[in-house]
Each structure stands twice: as structure tokens, then as C-alpha cells.
Amino acid sequence: MHRSFSALLAFLGLSVQAQLPPYVAAGFPAGGSGYSFFTTTDFGGNIAQSNAVILDGEGHVAYRRTAPSVTNFRVWPDGRMSYAAAGRNILLDSTFAVIDTVVCVNGIDTDLHDIRLLPNGHYLLLGTEERTMDLSAYHYFQPNNAPGSPTATVKCGVVQELDANKALVWEWHLADHFDFLETDTTLLGNPGQVDWSHCNAVEQDTDGNVLLSCRHFNEVVKIDRNADTVIWRLGGVSNDFTFTNDGGFVGQHDIRRIANGHITLFDNGLSGVHPCRGVEYALDEVNRTAEAVWSRSFDNLSYSRAMGSVQRLSDGSTLIGWGALSPANSLFDVYAPDSTLVREVRFTDTLVTYRAFHFDALPFQLHRPEITCMGQDTTYLLTADAGWSSYVWSTGATGPTTTVAAYDTVYVEVSPGPGSGWVRSEPFVPADHCGAAGIAAEALDPARLWPNPARDHVDIILGETTRTDLDLLDAYGRLLWSTVLQGDRITVPLSAYPPGMYLVRMQGRVLRLVKE
């Protein structure tokens, strides 16, 4: 499949606030619509690389917000957005201002793996409780199958439903319904501290009952919302279903009921057993059969150590967030119904995301700053529209204006309000938008890269015969190739370099080059 690298703009860097690391967005068409929501996570604990991000339909950053350990960023049909951070589910309005937080009540610790904003205004939450258990009879703890502690602290899953005023209306405790050995015993390590069920997704089913993903059980549970009993178990040691055409799933995330009545989930896989994948099951809940009717793995080797998501989109394609993919690297991919790769987003330094989402439209107007320009003697003066509390340009300028050359690719980020993150303009190239507003673009900067984007080679064309040093750099500014140009043009071979963003430096300026 031919991949068009439509966005790798984060290398520009800002001088006064943390910047999103370099990323590649492939397959996003010019004029594309919709918005992708995701978070970035660095397992090394670098807070500056923990961001909530929105990409537009062309793969360009439209919004970003740096927050410690932020996950699960998305928009809801009522216009509110949410993400999880600092032990709370945090709600935002359409200006990205924090308007509320939602946590578990009744002494239950909030589990930030999931929250659902229900159509009736209620909240469906995950929580945890710690129970003291005698595990001395269970000789499964590693290494060497040691017994558990007689006073082990066991973290157990809880589901709560709160009303619009955040009063408790329903609560369900996993430990009241399951035996300890429902857990995957290969995960047992510390005999005194046990993360028993590790619930990571909750879903209100179409019949009003509740679906719950218990990762450490390798199991999805359906709970009777009225009787508080278990209706069925899919997967795990107490599986009620026959998998008719595959071997089931392991370490799963993101169980969802989709419009056709099937369920989707992210199967994290297991190294040496089977690769991670997004999978869709048709469940016969009467005869208890589960048929995998669609699945897509990243490749035949990679599994996902943690996290991950699956979303069926309105056009029938499927978005898979790969979580902590290993050994490969991809944040999320979108696949057509025939499993053909359509779009991809990945970070060059292997940042991962907990979940990724695509929305065809937002339930509110996303107001991005607009840029106008005026030609000066040898440069362009760019101005962002008024009314924002802060401005930061990709040039490093911090006011409402900046000065650039004709072929620079520029954006401005503005803050809707204190602590509300940064809304970014669309990429702006003065020569493409306002060459007639001042002096001609050719007179302003006669240098050309052609073709751009390029494949096997690029021609560097100057408007005059000259002698100048010419350097080819990668997106991080590392020197790849250098020569002295004598004349008015030169052809630079590119076949040795992978697709992505490059920089051409000469005559005291830098031009942007994309290799497909």
C-alpha cells in the first residue's frame, strides 16, 4: 500500500512550553474530515510526553494538553469531553476548560481504566477495593509455586453507577461472585499483594445489563443489572462459550457492543502464543457459541504488553489502538472491512496510547486560530486572530505576530484559557496563501525543492548561480549528507532514506522536504 506521509510537524519545537514529540501520520487525505483523539504515554515516566491530543482529518494536531499520566481522552455525544488523570475522571467543556470530576463513592477507590457517560445522564465507573484473604492454600506464586500469604491484600474490581448528581444508584462487587482461582495464576507474583481481577473496561449492554472486562481472568463477564448475578462468562477458566473458529483471547481490553449486535475487543495476545489483534465476535447467547467474524493483527509476531482499544467506525472500517506494542511500533491503525490498512499514526520514539478514538464530527465547533499575512521587504508578517489569552508560534514567537520566509511551514498555538491546553492552527505556508499580498513569492525566496513530496530523488533549484554549502538533515536536525553546490541546481538521491520528514539547509535557511 502506498502511504502518503501527510504530517510530521512536531519537529519544529516551541520554546516556552512542552511540545508533542515527532510523529508520523500516514494515509490521512488532503481535505480529510473527522477528528482522532488519543493520549501519549512514555513508560519511562517523562511527564512532558504525557499528552491528550486531537488530530484533524489531515493528520495535523488540532489540540494538545500536557498532563501527568493522562489517559482515555475522548468526546461524548452531549458535547463534554473526558480524560483520566491524577486519580480522577476529568470532564471538559467545548473550550477545554475543566468543569467537573467524577470518582467512585462509598469508600471505593476509583479505577481510571474506564468511564461511561450514559444517555440518561448517569456515570458507569470502575473501582477497586482491597480485601484481606487467606491465600496460604494457593501454591501458585512465583518463583517456585510458593504459597500465598494468610493475610494477603487482594485488589478486587467493583462497578458503580452514579446518577447525574453523583449519588450511588448501583454497585457490584466482583469478589462476591468469583472464586480466587478465576485469576490467571501465571500472573501471581507477590504472595502478599495481589492485583486479582484487573478490570479495564465496562459497557452498558443494549438490554440494560453490564459487560465487564476482567483482564487478569482473561474473561468478559455479563452482569444482570437488576438481579446482581452473572449471566455468562466469555473466556477464562469458567468460560461458558464454545469458540467455534479461534482459540479465544488473553489479557484483553476495551469490550464493546457494536451496532450489529456483535462485540469487539482488543486481544493483547501473548509473546510466543499468539499476536495481539482487534477482534469482532458474533455471540449466540442462547447456545453459547462465539464466532470470530473479523480480526486483524498488527503482524504475526507482535503482542501488546498493556492497554489497547478497538472502535468500529461509521463507514465499516475499524480503528485499532495497539497499546504497548512489542516489538513493533504503531500508535493506532485504521483498517478497511477487508483488513487493508487505511491510516496509521506512530511516534518515532515509540510512545504508546491507552486508547484511540475517531469521531466523524464533534458536537461543538472547534475554534482553531486563523492566520493572515502581509508581505514585507524580504519576509512575511503573519498575524493570528485576536481574542486568545496566549499565543506561541512554531517559530518561537510568543505574541500575536511573527515574521517568516515564504516557504516556511508555520503554525500558531493559542490557549483558550488558563490550564486549558493549546489549540493549534492548520499548517500555514505563506507562499501558498498570500503570495499576492506582498512581493512575489519567487522574488522572496527563489529556492525550490522539486518534487516535494519526493520519492527517489529531489532537485534543488536556485534562482541564481552560486556556491553554497548544502546539507540534508533528518527531522531531528542530524546531518545525513553534505556537499558544496556550485551552480544553480543539484539532484540529491533519496533512495537510501526511509519515508518521513527531512530538512534541506543552505544559504542560512532551512527548507522542509517530505519523502514518500
Per-residue confidence band for 484, with pLDDT thresholds at 50, 70 and 90: confident
Q: Which of 113-122, 155-164, 460-469, 498-507 has the lowest mean pLDDT?
A: 460-469
Confidence of residue 377 (pLDDT cuts 50, 70, 90): low
Q: Identify the weakest region by mean pLDDT among 258-272, 290-304, 361-375, 461-475.
A: 461-475
Structural domains of the chain sorted by starting position, each given as residue range(s) with its CATH number in brackets: 371-441 (no CATH), 446-515 (2.60.40.3080)
Mean pLDDT of the region 281-289 = 98
pLDDT for 446 equals 53
Please state whether 289 falls in left (phi above 0), alpha (psi between -120 and 50) or beta.
beta
Q: What are phi and psi of 442, to 5 degrees?
A: -65, -40
- Cis amide leading into 275 (omega within 30): no
Q: Long-range contacts of range 405-408, CB-CB < 8 Å, 24 or more positions apart?
A: 405/379, 405/380, 405/430, 405/444, 405/445, 405/509, 406/380, 406/430, 406/431, 406/435, 406/441, 406/444, 406/445, 407/431, 407/441, 407/445, 407/447, 407/511, 407/512, 408/512
Give 338's DSSP letter.
Answer: T
pLDDT band at 334 (very low <50, low <70, confident <90, very high): very high
C-alpha cell of residue 401: 505576530
Query: Which cell is 192 given?
Result: 502478599
Q: How many helices and strands (H and E) does the chain possess? A: 2, 43
Question: Which band of pLDDT confidence, cut at 50, 70 and 90, is reported for residue 294?
Answer: very high
**pLDDT of 4 higher than 70:** no
- Find out whether 220 and 239 touch, Cβ atoms under 8 Å: no
Query: Region 52-73: what's the mean pLDDT?
Result: 95
Angle at 279 between CA 206 and CA 297, to 5 degrees: 160
For β-strands 448-450 and 457-474, DSSP reports them as: antiparallel
> What is the pLDDT averaged over residues 453-459?
84
Amino acid (1-letter code) at residue 34: G
Cis link prior to 77 (omega < 30° from 0)?
no
9-18, 77-86, 164-173, 330-339: least confidently modelled range: 9-18
pLDDT of residue 279: 98
Residue 222 pLDDT more than 80? yes
Q: Taking Cα atoms as reference points, which of 502, 384, 453, 403 lies closest to residue 30?
A: 453
Which residue matches cell numbers 496563501?
Answer: 433
404 beta partners: 380
CB atoms within 10 A of CB 144: 6
User: Residue 265 above 70 pLDDT?
Assistant: yes
Span 290-315, mean pLDDT? Answer: 97
Check if the beta carbon of residue 483 is closer than 8 Å to that of residue 489. no
Mean pLDDT of the chain: 89
Q: What is the pLDDT at residue 435?
A: 54
CA–CA dist 217, 206 (Å, integer): 24
Kind and range of the H or E element at 441?
helix 441-444
508: number of Cβ within 10 Å: 7
Confidence band of 16 (pLDDT split at 50, 70, 90): very low
Rg (CA), the chain: 26
pLDDT over threshold 50, residue 7: no
**Pairing assessment for the beta strands 318-321 and 332-335 based on DSSP bridges:** antiparallel
Q: Give the lowest-confidence range in 14-23, 146-155, 222-231.
A: 14-23
Task: Average the pLDDT over 163-173 and give the result.
Answer: 98
Position 247 pLDDT exceeds 80: yes
Query: Is residue 339 over pLDDT 80?
Result: yes
**Sign of the C-alpha dihedral, residues 68, 71, 75, 80?**
negative
Neighbouring-strand partners of residue 127? 110, 158
Q: Is the pLDDT of residue 187 over 90?
A: yes
Mean pLDDT of 178-202: 97
Residue 501: predicted pLDDT: 77
What are the tens digits of pLDDT across the range 74-103? 999 999 999 999 999 999 999 999 999 999
Percent of the chain with pLDDT over 70: 91
Q: What's the average model confidence in pLDDT over 313-341?
A: 96
Does residue 14 register a pLDDT over 60?
no
Residue 425 has pLDDT above 60, yes or no: yes
